[in-house]
Every structure is written in C-alpha cells, then in structure tokens.
Amino acid sequence: MSDFPHHSLLAWAVSLGRFALVFIPLMTIVVMIFLERKGASLIQDRLGPNRSAIPIFGGLRLFGFVHNFTDGIKLFTKETFIPSYAHKFWYAIAPGIGFLVAMLTPSVIPWFAPLAWTAGGEIERVSGTLIDSDTGILLMFALSSLSVYGTVMASWASNSKYALLGGMRATAMMISYEVSMGLSLMGIFLITGSFNLQHIVAWQETHVWGIVVQPVAFVVFLVSMIAETGRAPFDVAEGESEIVAGYHLEYSAMRFGLYYMGEYAHIMIASIIIATLFLGGYSIPFVSTDCLRAHVNVALFLVLAGAALALIAFQIKLRHWKSIYPSFNATDTKARLTEYSFLQVTTGLATLGVIGLAAVALIALHPSVLSTVDGVGYFAPWVTLATAGVQVAVLIAKAFLFCWIWIWVRWTLPRFRYDQIMSLGWKILLNVALVNLVVTALIAKLIVGGR
Amino acid sequence: MTKIVQRRKATLLDRSYLWEIMKGMGITMRHLVKNFRNPEKMQLMSYPEIEVKVPQDYRGSHRLMKRPDGEVRCVACYMCSTACPARCITIEADNSADPRIEKKPQKFEIDWLLCVFCGLCVEACPVDAIRMDSREVSLSFGSRKEFVADMQRLTAWKPEDFPANDSQSQRAPGGTENQQARKIWGLEVKSV
C-alpha cells in the first residue's frame, strides 16, 4: 500500500525506547556531582560533605550522596529572583538553552551497534543512534556550539558588567577552541572516511582505537573539550577572583541550578563523544559485535560480576569505616555504626542478588542463531537487545573514565590567565592540529594509497 | 651577601607543559589514594561530633574569678570597659560589703556579639578578675539575648576544669591564705 516498511511492534518499541538514552547524561549528573565533591575533598585531604541525612537508621548519610538531593530541594524551593534591570524574557529563557543542548546532543551518539533481527521472514534494523545521519559529528558540533548562546544570552540579559565580561570571555574561548577541536578530528575523518559516528565506531571495532592512530589529535581534542565545557583550568568565564561568578552571576534558585547541572551534563556528553571517537565507543577491544552476540551470556555475566565486585569493594570499605569509627570518640558513633550495619546488610543482599543474576545469565541464557537470510545469521531479538545493553554499559564506563579526568584536572591545575588561554588555543593547539592533519594525510596517502 | 640562583632554562619537555601536568596529576592522585585508603590519618576533626582540644592558654570566652568567700573578685573599677575597643562590657557598681574593697559590680555584662576577643580587658584588669581562658570557643546560641553574658554565667565555671597550680592561681588571696594575701596586696584579710 505504501513504501513505508512494515515494522513489528518490537521494532517500534525499541525505536521509541532509544529516546530514554537521551536522558543518560542527565541522570549521571547526580553521580558526577558526588564524584566531583568526593574527589575534590580527598585530593585536598578533606572528608568532603557528609552531613545531609535521611532520618532513618540513625541518619542515612550514604557518605555524602544525600547532599545532591538536599541541594536539589534547596534550589527548587528558593526564590527565583529577577533583577529589575534585567531583560526579563531573555533572562528567563537563557538557562534553558544550555540544558536543551544537553538533551539534544546525545541523539547523535551511537549507543550500541545497529540491531537486526528477523520478523515474519523480513529483516528489521534499528540504528544505535537516534539520528543516524552522515552529518553525524557535524550535527553534534553544531548543537553543542549552541550552548554558548545560553551563556551569552544570560550575560547580556542580566545587564550586569561582570556577567557581560564572563559572557564575552566564554564566547572568545568558544571561538578559539572550536577551531582546533574541529581540525583535530579531521585526521580521524580522513582515516575512517566518514562523518557518521556509527561508521567511525565500526571502523574502530574492526581496526584499532582512534587513540592509537591519532594520539596527538586525542590530546588536542581533550584539551579543547575541557576548554569547551568551561571547566578549570579554562574556567575564566566564571573566574571568581576577577568577575565574581561570570555569566550566571545574576541567577538564583533553579535557574542557577540549570547552569550548574548543565555543566555536568555537558561534561558527560563530552566524555561520551571522546570515548566514541578515540576509545572505540561501545565496542570492546578484540571482540566484534557478532562475537559479543554469540556469547552474550558470558558478556552479561562479566558485566554483572563487575557490578558484584564493585559492591564487594564497597563493603570492604564499609568494614574499614566501621572498624575505625569508634576510635574517633565522636558523639554520633552509635548512629554511624547503625548506618554502616544497615548499609552492610542492604549491599550484602544486593551483592547476592547480582551474583545470582550473573549465574542465571551465564547458565540459563543460550544465544543461538534463530534464522538465516541470504547466508547471514540473525539472533533472536532478546540477544541483540541484551548485547545493546552491554554495549551501552561499556560506553558509559568508558565515558566515566573521562569524566574522572575532567574532575582530576580541575582539582590539580590552577586557572590559566585569559591571554594564556588565547595563546594556547591559537598559537599552539591550532598549529598542532594542522600539522597533525598534514602528517596524517601524508601517511594515509603513502600507506593506504588514497581512498 | 647576595645569592644568585641560576634558573634552569625550560626544556622542550617543560615547555610542552603536558609532562608537568601529568606530574601534578600524579601528586593529586597520590593524595586521593592515600586518603581513600586511610581516612583516619587525615589531619582533621569532624567538628561537632568530635570535641576540639583547645590549649589552656587559648583566648576563648571570658570568665570572672571569685574570692574564696564566693564573692566576685571584680572591684568595678571600669578599667576593662574603658580598655574595651568594642565597648561590649557593661558594669554597674555597688558598695562592697568587704571593708578592704570599695566597690563591687552589681551588674557585669559582656555582649559576645560585640566582643572582638582581643584580650585587652584581661590586660587592663588590676585584680586579675577577668580571664579569657575558659577554652569555650564555640559560642552559638538561639537568640541575640543569649549572647549577652551576665555575671551569673560568667562565674559559672567549675574549678576542677582549670589547673590549680598555675602561677596566677584561680584562688584569690584570702580566707586561710593570709600569708599570700599580705605578700600580694599588703592587707589583712577578714575571715568570713
């Protein structure tokens, strides 16, 4: 009747279900803020925030994890103050733009290898990205560059000199680092021969990771990305010692919270992009997607076993805390020990559950080729879906590696001076990226003989 | 004599900046691992839960000294309130029942919200009646009124919390210690 291909209900459900992946960067904000606070405190020889508590079992502090939620409650219930001299409309919508970008950018990221299964004798395919476009990475750049509009709009609409200075700095930095960022990736595009992120990841899956073939580009891109997110040592846009708080100076309550959370969402997205471009994305080294599908029960077992190991490591830490806490002679010793016991019991049960699930996954699940069409074997839908789940987990694990680098760099390096940032961007990174591109082109021409 | 420090010229490795950044990140990571493994060895105290040990000579909040007969040692001379740069001491004088002493304070109030804890009142006191060695450093109350300490609060300290044998004894000359009183004040002390 029409050219529109017939799809099974499952294909529709999976296609729509991919939209949930867009929320992954937003959901990781909570973990990121916790990681940032604890990482910062341990680097600076502090304990970090740990006082907010859920009033059960002697005050459930969860080692400071509750602080995220109290922060959220505070930001939501505070008064949204609008200065009388601000441009009301632009002031109100500016914080949304950065957050909107944080919601849009994940749509071009390949979260898992393209799914394919047979239904009613026909092959059904579902792409691993929401927008499976050949402009892929360019679209991503276009979207992520939009976030600076939120910054500039906020700084202009605030009608405050400090905010305007911060906005101008953010713009200048954006322009400087976008150039070297784009150019550093040209080598990758040259080698993989595609702008499509799916293709780039597929190339890395069958050849080697991007970091091996383009180590210089990796460093340039990482530095440019840190500058792009406006984090230390490139956080002149909100340099407290010079311009108070920069572009979000006049913002309060949840409008400020949107900037604060948008920053972490931005970091997570940048980390996912770096992992996709240079660390093989969702792929596992030496294991192709087909191989992964054929042994998905082992893969699930390994992922769950990793989770169980993490839980056991947490319990060891808990035991340590429980043994040392009485020696502090603190007044809340009893409450803390109650809390630690509670956590021991719950994490112990969770560990048992995860181990049980891992055992079930290893023993009970048997992936096998369900049908063969034109000599290509297709697995059952649940096998491809489980593989996709494993791949999403792998991608997020890789991304968290970079998230930690963001935090680590922030609490190690002091802030660059503004002119130093400009000279680093224009005089060093840009030239390094250009030379890298020329050298890559030459080598590619000599070895591969042109494409 | 001037010592000339020869500055090492930055090598290419130094100027590339990356190696130095990695060294710095190594230092921060060492701190993180050390503190994560042994949080009890961090040089810190979880404040309200763990009591802060303040040294004996720390300049904390005030206390008023007493004579053996229980009277306040203060002679209401206004030296401390005159010396006070924050004007936080309010004294109202009254006739003393002790024939050796002209006045005694009827009201002695210190507003800790005004006080700058400079210790000039302690320096100014001729009879060593006011001290700031109470080791009380966390002054936190529910209302402004509670920050104004009256005589009763300033004298409500326990003798066993303070060393009895320091050179400026907390026990004033008097009572059975006439010998000492004569040496210090040159006066005979009326037995109570």
For residue B114, the model assigns a pLDDT of 93
For residue A196, the model assigns a pLDDT of 87
User: How distant is the Cα of B182 from the closest Cα of chain A, in angstroms?
Assistant: 47
Q: What is the pLDDT of residues A194-238, one digit of tens each?
A: 888 888 888 888 888 888 888 999 999 999 989 888 887 888 877
- Backbone angle region of A62, left / alpha / beta, with phi > 0 → left and psi within -120 to 50 → alpha: left
Report the residue of A41, A221, A402, A412 to disrupt the B interface, i.e. the one with the largest count of B CBs within 10 Å. A412
The verdict on A414 touching B (C-beta cutoff 8 Å) is no
Q: List chain B domain ranges.
A: 14-43, 63-156
d(CA A341, CA A322): 8
Lowest-pLDDT range of A64-68, A94-98, A123-127, A332-336:
A123-127
Distance separating the N- and C-terminal Cα atoms of chain B: 70
The verdict on B179 touching A (C-beta cutoff 8 Å) is no
For residue A1, the model assigns a pLDDT of 39
User: How distant is the Cα of B53 from the closest Cα of chain A, in angstroms?
Assistant: 13
pLDDT(A440) > 80: yes
Instruction: Compute, in degrees rounded to 10, the torsion defined by CA atoms A197, A202, A208, A214.
Output: -20
Minimum-distance CB partner of A42 among B32, B50, B51: B32
pLDDT(B42) > 60: yes
User: How distant is the Cα of A252 from the closest Cα of chain B, in angstroms?
Assistant: 28
Minimum-distance CB partner of B50 among A39, A329, A413: A329
Look-up: residue for tokens 């007493």?
A: B66
For residue A5, the model assigns a pLDDT of 59
Asked if B49 and A330 come within 8 Å (Cβ–Cβ), the reply is: yes
Nearest C-alpha neighbor of A103 from the set A221, A19, A227, A12: A19
Lowest-pLDDT range of A273-282, B62-71, B143-152:
B62-71
Q: List chain A domain ranges.
A: 9-285+414-449
For residue B180, the model assigns a pLDDT of 60
pLDDT(B181) > 60: no
Q: Report A:293-352 residues touching B (Cβ under 8 A).
A: 321, 324, 327-332
For residue A310, the model assigns a pLDDT of 92
pLDDT(B126) > 70: yes
Q: What is the CATH number of domain B63-156?
A: 3.30.70.3270
Asked if B44 and A412 come within 8 Å (Cβ–Cβ), the reply is: no
pLDDT(A4) > 60: no
Average pLDDT value over all residues in chain A:
86
Q: What is the pLDDT of residues A235-263, one digit of tens each?
A: 887 777 778 878 888 888 888 888 888 88
Confidence grade of residue B164 (pLDDT, cut at 50, 70, 90): low
Minimum-distance CB partner of B25 among A45, A324, A412: A412
Question: DSSP labels for A343-401?
Answer: HHHHHHHHHHHHHHHHHHHHHH----EEEEETTEEEE-HHHHHHHHHHHHHHHHHHHHH
Angle made by CA atoms A228, A229, A233, in degrees to the nearest 5: 90
The verdict on B25 touching A (C-beta cutoff 8 Å) is yes
Contacting residues of B for A412, CB less than 8 Å apart: 21, 24-25, 27-28
Which residues touch A407 (CB under 8 Å, ≥6 apart)? A32, A35, A36, A39, A40
DSSP secondary structure letter of residue A247: G
pTM of the model: 0.80
For residue A218, the model assigns a pLDDT of 92
Q: Is the dihedral of CA A292, A293, A298, A300 positive or negative?
A: positive
Average pLDDT value over all residues in chain B:
81
Contacting residues of A for B22, CB less than 8 Å apart: none
Which residues touch B39 (CB under 8 Å, ≥6 apart)? A47, A321, A324
The arithmetic mean of pLDDT across residues B79-92, rounded, is 93
**Entry field: residues in chain B:** 192
For residue B174, the model assigns a pLDDT of 41
Instruction: Give how far Cα B139 sits from Cα of A114, B115, B131, Å.
Output: 65, 12, 16
Token pair in block for residue A68: 């995220």
For residue A118, the model assigns a pLDDT of 77
Contacting residues of A for B40, CB less than 8 Å apart: 324, 327-328
Residue of A nearest to B27 (CA): A412
User: How distant is the Cα of B104 from the closest Cα of chain A, in angstroms?
Assistant: 41
Q: If 0-12 CB within 10 Å is exposed, 13-18 middle and 19+ buried, where does residue B89 land?
A: buried
Provide the percentage of residues in chain A whose pLDDT is more than 90. 19
ipTM of the complex: 0.83
- Backbone angle region of A59, left / alpha / beta, with phi > 0 → left and psi within -120 to 50 → alpha: left
For residue A221, the model assigns a pLDDT of 92
Confidence grade of residue B173 (pLDDT, cut at 50, 70, 90): very low
For residue B167, the model assigns a pLDDT of 41
Q: If 0-12 CB within 10 Å is exposed, 13-18 middle and 19+ buried, where does residue B45 land?
A: middle
pLDDT(A265) > 80: yes
pLDDT(A435) > 90: yes
Q: What is the pLDDT of residues A372-415, one digit of tens each?
A: 777 677 787 788 888 888 899 999 999 999 999 999 999 999 88
pLDDT(A328) > 50: yes
**Entry field: residues in chain A:** 451
Q: What phi and psi, each to the nearest 5 degrees, are found at residue A281?
A: 55, -130
Asked if B21 and A412 come within 8 Å (Cβ–Cβ), the reply is: yes
Q: Report A:200-219 residues touching B (Cβ under 8 A).
A: 219
Asked if A46 and B42 come within 8 Å (Cβ–Cβ), the reply is: yes
Confidence grade of residue B175 (pLDDT, cut at 50, 70, 90): very low
